[in-house]
Chains A and B, each alone.
Chain A
Amino acid sequence: MFEKIFSWITRGSPISTQPVPRDKEMITKLMSMLNNTHEKEFSCDEVFELLDQYAEQIIKGENAGQFLSLIKQHLDICKDCSEEYESLISILNAELA
């Protein structure tokens, strides 16, 4: 049943070449997420506010300050924010080159 759903939703999409997620893969994804869950977490809006500052500090190898672990925790959990962070880093790296 999952194979059918997964192949339907991924048809024509960049992820259509990925293998169908098996139960073990599903449970490990969920558990990894729970493992990275903390009482205090930054929300997407909070991370977005700081993302430009954070990305520049990472590129320069500077200490990203007190928010470092909270931003990183969020990026480990939130795929949307993580993609945006990686995209911004790509731009900053290109500027340096």
Chain B
Amino acid sequence: MSKRTNQDWISALKSGGIKQEDALADLRLIIINSLPYSLNNWIQNSDPRFEPLTEEVSQETLLRVLDKLDTFEGRSQFTTWVNKIAVRIALSELRRRQWKNISLDELIDENKLKHPTMIVSKSASSPEMSIEQKDILKRIERLMAQELTEKQRKALVAISIYGMPMEEVARRMNTSRNALYKLLHDARLRLKDRMKKEGLSPQEVLEIFEAG
């Protein structure tokens, strides 16, 4: 497989016929050979599901590359741009599989969200917390209940506390990952701003909780 320049790739992929077929075949191999390096935290090469996954991802990637070819601006190597797309597709699929049996409502008990003091925990009686820590926790719970919409609270808790991937939360909320990020950005700004008005800073709270 000879090394192609960005222009070679674009020209071949746009040309149709045998040139395009050869380019797609070469690109498929590049994707298949790259994925093991990027997915080893998710799935082992020896896992029987690995090969079908990489084949599925490479096919999907090639389709997306052809569809988005005109958006490539040449600011990186073409193969890096392609691998970026492949990684997005692969990790999206792996996240979907990992979280598929978990609904948002089950993850976050709906009743907790209706009771402001129960958003983060019912830790008021937690013995390992100091009085100061318990007081701050209650204050933050109250602020979250007052400043954030139910959707924002739910998403924030699912993502930042339970570690659910953003795109999985977005899927369950029938929105896009990008739109959800913006919704949560707004939520974080509101919370931070309100904390500031109440004389609390995230850094100070961190220090109080990290102190023990």
Contacts and interface: CB of A to CB of B under 8 A. Distances in A.
Interface of A: 1-2, 5-6, 9, 13-15, 21-24, 26-35, 37, 39, 41, 43-45, 48, 51-53, 55-56, 78-80, 83-84, 87-88, 90-95
B209 A28 contact: yes
Interface of B: 34, 37-40, 42, 75-77, 80-81, 83-84, 87-88, 90-91, 95, 98, 102, 106-107, 109, 120-123, 126, 128-129, 133, 136-137, 140, 156, 159-163, 165-167, 177-178, 181-182, 185, 188-189, 191-192, 195, 202-203, 205-206, 209-210
A35 B203 contact: yes
B165 A79 contact: yes
A53 B72 CA distance: 11
Contacts of B156: 30
- Interface SS of chain A: helix
Given A84-B84, A87-B39, A91-B80, 9 more contacts: A27-B137, A31-B202, A37-B189, A43-B181, A43-B182, A44-B181, A45-B178, A52-B77, A84-B88
Contact of B166 (A26, A53, A79): A79
A36 B40 CA distance: 28
Q: Which of B40, B87, B177, B192 has the most CB of A within 10 A?
A: B87
Contacts of B188: 33-34, 37
B80 A92 contact: yes
A37 B91 contact: no
